[in-house]
Amino acid sequence: QVQLVQSGGGLVQAGNSLRLSCAASGRTFSGYPMGWFRQAPGMEREFVAAVTGGNVYYGISVKGRATISRDNAKNTVYLQVKSLKPEDTAVYYCAADLRKEVRGWSANYWGQGTQVTVSS
């Protein structure tokens, strides 16, 4: 059974940084895209970042402030976001086995979600 277990998040002051981690178990995702999404209250789920074998992709709202990385040996993906803003407040979800479709990014496996609240 595949599990994606997230850690990190919580309450952060605007201007600071956060780092989220997501450890996968049940199968290896080496060679498969992994990434992050987020969903703010009343909003649709939003693509944040993805990392494939050799490329990284970022959503418009975090581009220039976010860094996604992975450790294949640990089957883990990380997301660091700096210069946080109150509008970054959302539930952040890690995802594995992503694919880019016409309507945007989607994924086959999802983490449990972690709340990130940015205070002004």
For the segment 40-58, what is each residue's pLDDT rounded down to a tens digit?
999 999 999 999 988 999 9
Place of tokens 């970042």: 49
Contact 3, 26 (CB under 8 A): yes
Task: Kindly state the average pLDDT of the residues 104-110.
Answer: 95
Query: What local confidence, expressed as pLDDT, does residue 31 receive?
Result: 87
Query: What local confidence, expressed as pLDDT, does residue 42 receive?
Result: 94
* Radius of gyration of the chain, Cα coordinates, nearest whole angstrom: 13
pLDDT band at 22 (very low <50, low <70, confident <90, very high): very high
> Hey, CA dihedral for 86, 113, 72, 98, is it positive or negative?
negative
Task: Kindly state the average pLDDT of the residues 25-31.
Answer: 92
Task: Kindly state the average pLDDT of the residues 23-52.
Answer: 95
pLDDT in tens, 54-105: 899 999 999 999 999 999 999 999 999 999 999 999 999 999 999 999 989 9
pLDDT band at 21 (very low <50, low <70, confident <90, very high): very high
Contact 65, 82 (CB under 8 A): yes
β-bridge partners, 34: 51, 96
Can you read off the two tokens belonging to residue 17? Answer: 């940084």
